[in-house]
Amino acid sequence: MPAPIVLSGRYELGELIGRGGMADVYEGLDLRLGRRVAVKMLRPDMARDGQFRARFEREARAVAGLNHPSIVGVYDTGEHNSDPLSPHSVAVPYIVMEYVEGRTLRDVIREGTPSIDDSIDALLGVLSALEYSHQHGIIHRDIKPANVMACNEPGSVKVMDFGIARATADTSATVTQTQAVVGTAQYLSPEQAQGKVVDARSDLYSAGCLLYELLTGRPPFVGESAVSVAYQHVQSVPRPAADFNPDVTPALQSVLDRALEKDPDDRFQSAAAFQRALRGARAGVVVPARPGRGAATAGAAAGAAADDGGVPTAAVGLVGESGGGQNGAGPGQDGAGPDGAGAKSADGAGSSSHLGDTGEFPAYAPPPGDLIQFDDARDEERARRGRGRRRTWIVVLLVMALLVATGGGLLLYQYMNQPSAVQMITVPAVTNMSETEAALKLQSLGLQPNISHPKDPTVPKGTAIKTVPDAGTQLAKGSSISLEISDGPANATIPTSIIGATESGARSTLQALGLQVKPRSILANDPKAPYGTVIATNPGAGQTVGLGTEVELTVSTGKVSVPNLRGMAVADAQKALADRGLKAAVQEQEDANAAPGTVTYQDPAADGSVDQGGTVSLIVAKAPPPPPAPSPSPSPTDTTSTAPAPSGPGNSGNPPGKKGGGNG
């Protein structure tokens, strides 16, 4: 097994636990403190891009100063260069973060819509983190389910990935250096989608989108492309959450409505206010509508008054308190009768009302002293006729007012809709813009883009090719215009540059070309390719294949296969190993059964493997030493004369080695 990678002599990398758009996340061990950490490393192919490095370093700076239980903590940062002596290697920045056990809210939602209480608890945690970061001048700008971890502790969440966060002093930076709108389409605030200035309220809009998805299992707006979703954030109102989840209460819907207002001034103005409203909604408290929000608000107020037993009061008065009003509007202004003389009351004071209860002028008053008899029936009939005439006049006046209003409305309509000079728009050049930029530019000029996605071998996917009609053409404002966005080439060539690249870099390169990559790579030994780099592809590098073709990668194990060396001359064996970059450790051993100088044993055995640059042990046969020369055998006479005969019964006089028994 290869030695584990240790960063800065302290952080030992473990298995890969996550892969993002520009970085990989590994489980790690802090050797100094003995604790588990998460190490986020910028991919080597991204590390050469200054823009990605700046974004990665900005994330480290943004979170390093934040210490909050609902924000993933950052412990350390640094750079790692796997081969500092190589001119082609690059130092890869990394961030050492808190290790969090749990799942992202995206995974939680995919497994099923959480309960109302769990959804509220999760968002309260997110809002607590946003309140803290906003107080420290950091706007996240990419709040979404994939950037929130649901910890194993109930109700505990962690906000992460401040990769596109900005300081409050830099809120005007709504776009990157390449002028692409940042953020994720389903959770963009309207001002982000339009490239306008963002502030903390943009995070609150995204948090509202997150709450909507927690409650319903889907984002507020869905569409076929990021552009169509961005349009809806700017122009459309999401369907009520109760349409998808009947457990959503009117109080909770009122919180969603306020959070998803298009105008930032109409939303919650702080994360703390959002939290208070969310806790109130749990208790059934409805967020009041914004003042001056139109006829719907007034109608709702009138309906509420009627429900309470009240009667809405009409504010329109045609006449005064007695029918004519002070200095009334009836015939004979300021008390003038039919003849123009001022009418007086019985006490001589000027009358303040010129119409009686019946709406007619009072009957003639005879001089004092005359006795007049009134007929009650006749008086009642006169009053009834007076009331009828008054109603008739009211109806006539209303009809006349209606006719005047209708006529005036028609005249105004004709005046407002009379043919005017057609405003012409010059079609702008949108070539090489992104789809979002091109569409928003045309829309801002009053044109309605119809987007198509033709294949184009020369224009990168997602980039504008042209408009139909072309740039410079004059069109009436409000006209439709065709916008062609490249869907990339129909074919792709597997680049030869991925040979020797890291596995993750090769996967990203192939996927960016529209090719599929098999999830499992083939592991193979290679004497020269470093560990984890691509050795070969199938189909081979340099071949042109159709989009969507699945490519299989062969990745180096960092080891070398050992050949069969037994029976070879030691010099030949050493050369075979040297060709593979290996060394030989030779030991001689006597062996009468093998030719001297040949290999009789090797370790590792044939077809085994050893680390690149490793050593293979060889045992080489050598000839055994010749046996010693035999000494000459003595003759019997010499033996008899030189060796005394053993004494004993029956052995007297017998030479050694001879049987004897005396004479017998």
The CATH number of residue 75's host domain is 3.30.200.20
Domain extent at residue 575: 561-622
Whether residue 109 is found in the same domain as residue 250: yes
Sign of CA dihedral 263, 269, 274, 280: negative
Q: State residue 620 phi and psi, 5-degree precision.
A: -115, 135
Whether residue 143 is found in the same domain as residue 213: yes
pLDDT recorded at residue 380: 54
3-class secondary structure, 226 = helix
Cα distance between residue 289 and residue 530, in whole Å:
64
pLDDT recorded at residue 10: 92
Whether residue 498 is found in the same domain as residue 586: no
In the annotated binding site, the residues are: 40
**Sheet with 480-485, side-by-side order of all strands:** 448-452, 480-485, 464-468
Q: Is there a domain that residue 651 lies in? A: no
pLDDT recorded at residue 405: 85
pLDDT recorded at residue 431: 92
Mean pLDDT in runs of 10 for the chain (664 residues)?
82 87 87 92 81 78 83 89 71 90 91 90 94 90 91 86 57 38 77 88 95 94 88 92 94 95 94 95 87 42 34 30 35 36 35 36 38 43 68 85 83 66 85 89 89 87 91 88 87 91 92 89 90 93 89 92 90 90 88 86 89 90 82 59 47 43 40
Whether residue 373 is found in the same domain as residue 454: no
Whether residue 551 is found in the same domain as residue 480: no
Q: Is there a domain that residue 323 lies in? A: no
pLDDT recorded at residue 636: 59
Whether residue 110 is found in the same domain as residue 211: yes
Q: Is there a domain that residue 577 lies in? A: yes
| Nearest Cα residue to 158 out of 63, 238, 239 | 63
3-class secondary structure, 578 = helix
CA atoms within 13 A on the CB side of 599: 25
Expressed in percent and rounded to 5, the helix, strand and coil fractions of the chain are 30, 20, 45
b/e sequence 277-303, b meaning 16+ C-beta within 10 Å: bbebbbeeeebeeeeeeeeeeeeeeee
Whether residue 121 is found in the same domain as residue 225: yes
The CATH number of residue 190's host domain is 1.10.510.10
pLDDT recorded at residue 327: 35
Q: Catalytic amino acids?
A: 142
Name the residue with tokens 């994720």: 184
Q: Is there a domain that residue 315 lies in? A: no
Tally the domains of the chain: 6
Contact 548, 516 (CB under 8 A): yes
pLDDT recorded at residue 61: 76
The CATH number of residue 512's host domain is 3.30.10.20
Q: Is there a domain that residue 367 lies in? A: yes
Whether residue 190 is found in the same domain as residue 284: yes
pLDDT recorded at residue 347: 34
Domain boundary among 434, 461, 485: 485
Whether residue 201 is found in the same domain as residue 274: yes
Q: State residue 301 phi and psi, 5-degree precision.
A: -65, -40
Q: Is there a domain that residue 655 lies in? A: no
In the annotated binding site for ATP, the residues are: 40
Whether residue 135 is found in the same domain as residue 262: yes
Q: Is 364 exposed, middle or buried (0-12, 13-18, 19+ CB in 10 A)?
A: exposed
Q: Is there a domain that residue 637 lies in? A: no
pLDDT recorded at residue 280: 94
3-class secondary structure, 116 = helix
pLDDT recorded at residue 516: 92
Q: Is there a domain that residue 664 lies in? A: no
Strands 550-556 and 522-524: parallel
b/e sequence 133-155, b meaning 16+ C-beta within 10 Å: bbeeebbbbbbbbebbbbbeeee
Whether residue 531 is found in the same domain as residue 577: no
Domain boundary among 50, 67, 98: 98
Whether residue 123 is found in the same domain as residue 253: yes
pLDDT recorded at residue 164: 60
